[in-house]
Structure 1
């Protein structure tokens, strides 16, 4: 028995290579493999009657908004009304000192009302957490600095909004 590979024959054809590989892998002869039957695809006829145009999309009817979003000016007006309604009631709020201070700070920033600084300061002093109290006292100082630097500010100007960023300018 000769176990030397046959180096004399040259397999150069792809079909012969496929047959050889099929025999090595134990799949048998490649010619005996079942071949899937291919069914031809019918080409669509070019008659005009067979062409179905795309259905036109239905027109979109805009859905009326039940609660339309108010414009920015309307929102500011609502905000100022709420602030003016809240201002006399803030002393009646039953809140922890931290939250009550936040309400005072919001009112001060919305109205630039200097008369709210003293009650805000008193509320800040009642905060038990030292870190939070320090932050509240710093916020009070910043508001006092802002209100002191603002020219022509009346004692109670409830219709003037404060700037968005309340930080001092760095020069």
Structure 2
């Protein structure tokens, strides 16, 4: 068995030609940006304090919630509460909407989410995916009935 230690053919990480094109574009853009950066080193941008940059990222109508220490469960519960009224406003497929409702349902154990999850499951176009979603709804209903 012969092993060629000097391969002449480059092996790609992915067989996806679209991904390869995107990655090639990113690499070329990075090279061009690096070259441009080297040319513009004499032009310095004014330094903006980090606090000011962070303040610009927070919408003015929403006050940040301050958590004493890092309590991941508390943050998760707040995120679930914040997400729930926004699900219907998302522009996602019916399948993704069902997945979101199922995540909320399983994370919060809130049985009032069964109905919107069921409605989202019923609206999935693909019959196989719809069947799987309806099976998930049946499992969730059985779970809630077993807890009672």
Tell me the TM-score normalised to structure 2 length.
0.51
Shift of 1:115: 1.1
Q: Whose relative contact order is higher, 1 or 2, with alpha carbons under 8 Å and at least 6 apart?
A: 1
Shift of 1:101: 0.2
- What corresponds to 1:110 in structure 2? 107
Unpaired segments of 5 or more residues in structure 2? 1-69
User: RMSD of the alignment, in Å?
Assistant: 1.1
Shift of 1:105: 0.2
Tell me the TM-score normalised to structure 1 length.
0.45
Greater helix proportion? 2
Unpaired segments of 5 or more residues in structure 1? 1-72, 152-171
1:140 aligned to which of 133, 137, 140: 137
Shift of 1:93: 1.3
Please give the alpha-carbon distance, in whole angstroms, between the structure 1 residues aligned to 2:144 and 2:90. 25
- What corresponds to 1:80 in structure 2? 77
CA displacement, residues 59-116 of structure 1 (integer Å, 9 cap, x when unaligned): xxxxxxxxxxxxxx71111111100100111111111001000000000001111111
1:126 aligned to which of 116, 123, 127: 123
Shift of 1:130: 0.8
Larger gyration radius, structure 1 or structure 2: 1
Aligned length: 79
